[in-house]
Structure 1
Amino acid sequence: MSGSTDEDVKVLHSMGYAQELARRMGGFSNFAISFSIICILAGGITSFPLAMATGSGFEATIGWVIGGVFALVVAACLGQIGSAYPTAGGLYHWSSILGGRGWGWATAWINLLGLIFVVASVNVGVWLLFRDLVLSGVFHVDVTAWTSVTTDPLPSGMTAEQAKAINSSAYTAQVVAVCLITLVQALINHFGIKLTTLLTDFSGYLILVVAVVLTLTFLGWGASWDFSRLTTFVNNTGDPGGNYVPEARPAFIAFLVGLLYPLYTITGFDASAHTSEETQNARVAVPRGMIHSVFWSLVFGFAMAVSFVLASPDLAQTAKDGGAGWFNLFNNLPAPGLLKDVLAIGIVLANFICALAGLTSTSRMIYAFARDGGLPASGVWKGVSPTWRTPVAAIWLGAVLSVAATLYSPAFAALAAGCALFLYVSYAMPIAAGLLAEGKTWTEFGPFRLGIWSKPLGAIAVLGVLVLMYAGIQPPFDILINYAIGLLVLLLVLWFGIEARRFKGPPIGGDIAKRASEIAEAEKAVGQST
């Protein structure tokens, strides 16, 4: 092992954990996996209609900057904690150390739910993009039977029975497609971090190239150069937004709901933390990976959003088109057909790798939580393949759960809002614990420090997430209230009924020294020399 890897293993041992996973990721790979999950070609496209349906061009551009800067604050706060505690459990482990095992246990479940929503929502997006950009746009396949229709009101000349049959066919096609997509992603994850890393490294470059070319294409073949569009707020909630946000809301509420556009897109950067134990020089690489992935997504995503707004022939009609708005913009661009075909394939491929990276992050969260006994049948889910050095059981559990989420809530908008809401709540939990613990029980820090900005930025992050929680339960996302209430009740019942007595949390104090023999045995089982 190299000197930096030796130091990484030493730090991991000092926290009571064995080096079971293969530490093969460099700094760029750690950045790339978060950048791949953020993937401005995913949420930056598929949730663009939400921006237009709430605040038009202002929401898509100025709202993007506001949401992106907030995400950068959150990433910096998490980076400081990740530099001190570079473990695969990430948020769960940090919350446990800084706020107690109950706080950490709750963080784990909320983060896990958010990660499942990431994979679920992006894979639904992969199917929609593949259907509308590649099958229809590139190969000119008639996808009418796989495309749902509105039932209130019914399309002209269509009966309720016909609409029901079409929507049933569209739902079946989506379920089959998502199952196949997720199966391939799980297989890639199964066969080692090296293959996953190769793809996410490639995705880092792919996203940048496609985003730049896509932006230039919209500007070159469609831009009106009416810059007033970028700073004009129009409240399109209700009927003007094509019922994307069906209930008319006050302008300020519309603006807050529209922030789900950047915050759904710029999320999942905790992947850098979840792959800490597979990253060399993790105490430096992890915070750098999170912050850089958010920053460059903010910059390139803004340029892309500007091009979409400037290229729209009619902003009101784009908002009215709802989910079809961006596709109509793209398909009607008078750009060369070959260029649009290549872009379409690149967008779909980037989205596929985005969800692949999301499944990687989810499986590492499951693995880390299970090795501390946080999951039912933890002995199964914490297993690591000696051959592939990956948590194979955790990978397949994450795959199954993500598919199940699309069955319960098949609508992309609800899955996207759930992803943003639950992930950012889980981000705020260790930050809030750190605010109270810093300088008291939290006295050991890593190389990355925020210094005097630590507590002010932490307070901004926590308050901002509270605002996001309010925005995330507004119609049409009020279905998430059921998720939130149900999860809260379930967590309270489980914790006070069972887990408060059973769950010990991550090792601390004298428990770490007692784990020496267990660490040696675990590393021997996967062929890791210490």
Structure 2
Amino acid sequence: MPGTLDRQEEAILEEDVKVLHHMGYAQELARRMHLFSNFAISFSIICILAGGITAFPVGFSAGGPFSVTIGWILGGLFSLLVAVAVAQIASAYPTAGGLYHWASILGGRGYGWVTAWINLLGLIFVVASVDVGVYLLFKDLVAARILGLDVSGWGYGAQVLAVALILLSQGLFNHFGIRTTTAITDFSGYLILVVAVLLTLTMLAWGATFDLSRLFVLVNNTGAPGGGFYPEPRAALMALLLGMLYPLYTITGFDASAHTSEETVNARHTVPRGIVHSVLWSLIFGFFMAASFVLAMPDPALAAKDGGNSWFNLFDGLPAPVFLKHLLAIGIVVANYCCGLAGLTSTSRMVFAFARDGGLPLSATLRRVSPAHRTPVPAIWASAVLSLAATLYSPAFNALAVGCAMFLYISYAMPVAAGLVAEGRTWTEFGPFRLGVWSKPVAAVVVLGVVVLAYVGIQPPFDILISYAVGLLVLLLVIWFGFERHRFQGPPVGEMIKKRQAEIRAAEAAVGEPGHLG
């Protein structure tokens, strides 16, 4: 009965708010997201039509067909392990800015503070790399191929202007409420599935050789064979590991489900499912899509020599109907735009949550929530500006892409590592999603795998990230030991939570009551 359903949902919403109050936070954001929406925001950021296409040369120019098919499965399964480890903690602590909060609770406020900055950098790189990818895909697929424009003169200035306009529009969608963003990311979830399936079938119908042995061919394309994408020849094992950056860059950003916990109904149950399912379905659909690319190649050796143009040349040469190719091109660009939109949503919630605990400059401003729209407006626009800045100072899309994967996975591993040590000792409060006896073995594999990823991520041609990583580490240590360890209190714990109750009531009253209904 409708009335009964309303009472049940009201009881769930009240429990969500109770859990949030128990962690010392007010329900300022509007809870409008249900299971599909929470899944869709992570699925939209993962977006196999984004990294699965734009980062394809990262894998193929390393280890050939094996890297983008079998390597996709191996990398995807590792991502799934990371996802279930993260989901277990998200079920226990369903807050915005989840990774920072978890790391602080499980490993201490200094550890959480460092996690926050690493995660924030990774999220900024996500938005930056995706929106640069939106521009490149629009230029190559729509402007040049559909509209017939001469894009040879579209240089750095055009890219900066285009990315700024993209971020402006994404910021406006986020500004005006989670309902608007959710509607777009829900649509994006369906769009990604439909376009991915249609693209896969198109590749198979008009280009495939159906020589399945191709999928298992490991070719070391580093050096000259890969068209100079990896200029230095590397050993076969390193080529394979470099190729793994392809699925790991693509299957990332699933922490968005956690960052929107305070906007999700029945968060302790819903958020873990959103995280795990977004990774699982991306792994499955992404594999078939990548396999269709390999099967449709007239000559994989020539495709490798094309370097970064291999996918675009393959798509151009496909003898499919023109209207179908145009439809796919538009769908790919729109899905990538939605990916960037979801990424900005996730980043802004991280900024809001960290500022709420005083962890950022201008925290008093960045933690504000608009009473009219129930969104963290200053955090949204700060995230957009920082994302644009990241595109200005990075010399290449691929450096942004690999940096995104490396920094995000490190930030995922940090609370997982803290949980590995704290579980059964200081970590005794768990949510309904539990790994049981598999918890510590999974956590150990995640930590070890991310150490390997960090090593691979600073290999040429991505060695520019060494300066990012070292510079960030030194800067964080100086700031922490010089200033923040005496000032920054971290998330509320113990008596601090009890003392915050009056602040919580005031914060909820400021955005309109009842705070949890939105």
1:242 shift after superposition: 1.1
Instruction: Name the aligned partner's letter for residue 411 of structure 1.
Output: A
2:249 to 256, 260, 264: 264
Contact 1:20 1:528 in 2 (8 A): no
Q: Which residue of 1 aligns with 2:453?
A: 468
Matches within 5 A, 1:97-176: 97-146=105-154, 170-176=155-161
Q: Which amino acid aligns with 1:346?
A: G
Q: Give the match for residue 488 of structure 1.
A: 473
RMSD: 0.7
2:4 is matched with none
| 1:180 maps onto 2:138 in alignment | no
Q: Which residue is equivalent to 2:21?
A: 13
Q: CA deviation at 1:343?
A: 0.5
Aligned to 1:163: none
| Residue of structure 1 aligned with 2:52, choices 13, 20, 44 | 44
Provide the secondary structure at the position in 1 that maps to 2:145. helix
Residues of 2 paired with 1:67 and 1:57: CA distance? 14
Question: Partner of 2:495 in structure 1?
Answer: 510
Hey, what's the Cα distance between the residues in 1 that align with 2:303 and 2:346? 35
How much does 1:320 deviate? 1.0
Q: Secondary structure at the match of 1:144?
A: coil
The answer as to 2:235 corresponding to 1:227 is no
Q: Where in structure 1 are there 5+ consecutive unaligned residues?
A: 147-169
How many residues align? The count is 507
Cα deviation, residue 251, structure 1: 0.6
**Contact (CA 8 Å) 1:121, 1:415: kept in 2 or not?**
yes
Residue 141 of structure 1: how far off its partner (Å) = 1.2
Instruction: Give the counterpart of 2:483 among 493, 498, 519.
Output: 498
Q: CA deviation at 1:410?
A: 3.8
Shift of 1:33: 0.1
Kept after mapping to 2: 8 A contact 1:133/1:344: yes
The C-alpha deviation readout for 1:289-339, integer Å capped at 9, x for no partner, is 000000000000000000000001111111111111101101110000000
Deviation at 1:123, TM superposition (A): 0.4
Supply the AA of the counterpart residue of 1:50. Answer: V
Of the three residues 39, 52, 62, the one matched with 1:31 is 39
> C-alpha separation between the residues in 1 aligned to 2:86 and 2:467?
28
Q: Deviation of residue 142 (structure 1)?
A: 1.4
Identity over aligned pairs, percent = 71
In the aligned structure 1, how far is the partner of 2:229 from the partner of 2:408? 23
Residue identity opposite 2:71 in structure 1 = G
Bigger CA drift: 234-243 or 345-354?
A: 234-243
Give the structure-2-normalised TM-score: 0.97
Following superposition, the deviation at residue 528 of structure 1 comes to: 3.0
| Contact map agreement 1:25 1:197 (CA 8 A) in 2 | yes
Q: How does 1:272-311 map to 2 (within 5 A)?
A: 272-311=257-296
Question: Partner residue of 1:215?
Answer: 200
Q: Is the 8 A contact 1:61 1:306 kept in 2?
A: yes
Alignment of 1:343-422 (within 5 A): 343-422=328-407
Letter in 1 for 2:198: V
Give the AA of the match of 1:368. Answer: A
Q: Which residue of 1 aligns with 2:302?
A: 317
Contact 1:39/1:350 (8 A) holds in 2 = yes
Displacement of 1:244: 1.0
Is 2:427 the partner of 1:442?
yes
Letter in 2 for 1:360: T
- Specify the code of the residue in structure 1 equivalent to 2:478: V
Aligned counterpart for 1:92 among listed residues 78, 93, 100? 100
For 1:217 and 1:410, the matched residues in 2 are separated by 34
TM-score by length of 1: 0.95
Q: Hey, what's the Cα distance between the residues in 1 that align with 2:207 and 2:482?
A: 60
Alignment of 1:445-456 (within 5 A): 445-456=430-441
For 1:383 and 1:485, locate their aligned partners in 2 and report how far apart those are by CA, in whole Å: 32
Q: Are the counterparts in 2 of residues 134 and 344 from structure 1 also a CA contact under 8 Å? A: yes
2:174 is aligned to 189
Query: After superposition, what is the alpha-carbon deviation per residue over 1:351-402, rounded to whole angstroms, capped at 9, x for unaligned?
Result: 0000000000000000000000000110010010000000000000000000
Alignment-mate amino acid for residue 109 of structure 1: W
